[in-house]
A and B are shown apart, each in its own frame.
Chain A
Amino acid sequence: MIAEPLLQVRGLRTVFHALDGAWAAVDGVDFTVARGEVLGLVGESGSGKSVTGFSLVQLIDAPGEIVAGEVLFEGADLRAASQERLRELRGDRIAMIFQDPLMTLNPVLSIGEQMAEAILEHRNCSRDEALNTAAKALARVGISSPETRLRQYPHEFSGGMRQRVAIATALLNEPDLIIADEPTTALDVTIQAQILYEVQKLSRETGAAVIWITHDLAVVAELADRVAVMYAGRIVEIGPVDVVLDRPCHPYTLGLLNSSAALVEPGERLHQIDGMAPRIDSRPSGCPFRPRCERALPLCAEQDPAPRELEGRSIRCHNPVQLGVAA
């Protein structure tokens, strides 16, 4: 791999201030993304995966605050960057795709106007050239008769089409990094397959790196090169997809994989993880997964496991499931 990764995140910590204190939604997250790589960021509701995505581009508003860590994009820390510099980067070098495309698209502007705006903000070209580029981008994500579509408004598009428009807009300036936050969660499986197909193709063609935030391990398995599993604000296991999903070492990763209905014989009981994820303001001492963990040791209650290397991935666990060792 090349010397400097495209994105390097170290010790990222984002808290939300409340009357009774500051609670960490992201609690010391480290990872890197190389050029052209697809990283799947997986977790359940409240695990901090979306806040991590927003923190990368410094889109955290009060009462939230990024209190520690570095977000190095091509070696420069985005936390130290000026608002102007961030404006230059967002939508140009770094693009975001959100779960709800209706939130991203302005309902009173035609698709063409919004897409041209995204180009003219960052490029020195005429409006006609910008519209021309926009039409090409729409065609690239599989939207037919793009010239007509540019004159239409968001409400004239179906959910899947809107998400394609959002993706086309994100790709307009050929970004180096795309952060996609649950972009297919609200869509039907056949539409999801279409979107995954487009994203995969585009990342191959343009060499853009992708951070794909989702709760669906199966999507990550099919799409990503590497996977990071989040629980209670931290990455508990991160490594190549083949390593982590084929031989999970963290009991939470294993539990998530086993609870999928696709993996057991029809009619058999699903493997369930008992209990539920802790609230942000009442995380247990030591390892936050301990109360739900079948492999918890006395040590787990006392000491928060630090990240360490194990069998080709990084993991935060005192008692990991290991190859050749009976569970």
Chain B
Amino acid sequence: MTAPLFELRGITKHFRGKATLAQRLLTAVGQHAAPPVLRAVDGVDLTVAQGEVLGLVGESGCGKSTLARIATGILKPSAGEVVYRQRPVSGLKGKERLDYLLKVQMIFQDPYASLDPRMRVSRIVGEALSVHKLVPKAEIGPAVDQALSEVGLDLAYRDRFPHQFSGGQRQRIGIARALAVKPDFLVCDEPVSALDVSIQAQVINLFMDVRARYGLTYLFVSHDLSLVRHISDRVAIMYLGRIVEIGSASAIFAEPAHPYSAALIKAIPSAARRKSAFQPLKGELPSPLHPPSGCPFHPRCEHAMPVCREQRPALVEIAPGRSAACHLHNASEAA
């Protein structure tokens, strides 16, 4: 196998809350009361091969968006290393760092919040080109036009403001902005969740088209499993800041190895089913401030064993190219 384009090695991100008044008073009188630590991402390893689409799935609060932001350099990890083309990005300086920041672009979830309302479309799309002097000044206009036509936006719109566009069109502007700097890795954080169903299909088709045209690599973050199944080569499933299962999309959807993956897949509504007897997963997502001991999924798991309460299962390979973090698989190995 060739070297991966992009790697996350042992990425951890902790957020520390601000100390409350009571905690500060306690500290002042000598009783130390540290504010709680939220472990948004807790030791994640991921590799993305050149040209592949890796889907990252999980429910609200599982840390998938935090991980996407770390991948693009928007957030710094508390520990671990982001590796782009075999080079740890924390060590990159100057031109090399800029190259990483430009080659790895992000598409955001909310097309209303991610475009500056006071900039015209042509400036939004061309800003990076002019700021970083990527093309001569005279060629910025044509480059912007090219990016806009690639995403199917009428060039007559280039001097309009974001509020004059619908959600789907705004998401196209966001994609044009990312494509303008000729990236090779796109990190898409819930890129179509805010769009209507018929518009979602248009934008997903656009993603597939530009991927085919430029051989782009995607990290596609979403809570929509049917979408991830459709677009991804491989899928990683996150729960409470960790990856619980990773493998090829077809294998995971055909036969999920982790009980949480199985529950998620079973919960996808399907237009093919009628009058289902819904069998819900019990309980709620625990607070990442106080994750359960051992396997974080054990309080909701129907297969939970005593060992699950005490020992955190490691992510181990259970088949070629397929890993899961579950004691069920360790047990079968030992037996």
Contacts and interface: CB of A to CB of B under 8 A. Distances in A.
Instruction: Give the most central of B231, B269, B276, B281: most A CB within 10 Å.
Output: B269
Contacts of B199: 276
Interface residues of A, number: 46
Contacts of B284: 158, 160-161, 191
Contacts of A242: 274
B268 interface: yes
B312 to A, nearest CB: 22
B293 interface: no
A261 B205 CA distance: 11
A266 B249 contact: yes
A65 interface: no
A196 B197 contact: no
B200 to A, nearest CB: 7
Interface string B224-250: 111101111000000000000000011
B91 interface: no
B279 interface: yes
A310 interface: no
Contact of B200 (A194, A245, A259, A274): A259
Contacts of B316: none
B119 interface: no
Highest count of chain B CB atoms <10 Å: which of A160, A260, A277: A260
Interface in B75-89: none
B264 A44 contact: no
Nearest to B169: A276
Contacts, number: 132
Contacts of A188: 59-60, 223, 285
Interface stretch (A92-100, A115-123, A165-173, A216-224): A216-224
Contacts of A222: 269-270, 273-276, 278
B313 interface: no
B51 interface: no
B315 to A, nearest CB: 21
B156 interface: no
A215 to B, nearest CB: 6
Contact of A190 (B202, B224, B263): B263
Interface string B51-86: 000000001100000000000000000000000000
Given A194-B281, A221-B271, A222-B274, A266 B229 contact: yes
A241 B278 contact: no
Nearest to B202: A272
B280 A271 contact: no
> Which 7 A-B pairs rank lowest in CB-CB distance, beginning with the nearest?
A218-B269, A259-B201, A261-B230, A194-B280, A197-B278, A188-B59, A262-B226
Given A261-B204, A262-B230, A264-B230, 18 more contacts: A44-B196, A45-B196, A188-B223, A189-B59, A189-B264, A190-B59, A190-B281, A192-B267, A192-B269, A217-B271, A218-B270, A255-B198, A259-B200, A262-B272, A266-B249, A267-B230, A270-B204, A272-B202
Interface of B: 59-60, 166, 168, 196-202, 204-205, 208, 223-227, 229-232, 249-250, 263-264, 266-276, 278-281, 284-285
Interface of A: 44-45, 158-161, 188-194, 196-197, 200, 215-219, 221-223, 241-242, 245, 255-257, 259-264, 266-267, 269-274, 276-277
23 contacts: A188-B223, A189-B223, A189-B267, A191-B59, A196-B278, A197-B278, A197-B280, A215-B197, A216-B197, A217-B197, A221-B270, A222-B273, A245-B271, A256-B198, A257-B271, A261-B204, A266-B232, A267-B231, A270-B230, A272-B198, A272-B201, A272-B205, A277-B198
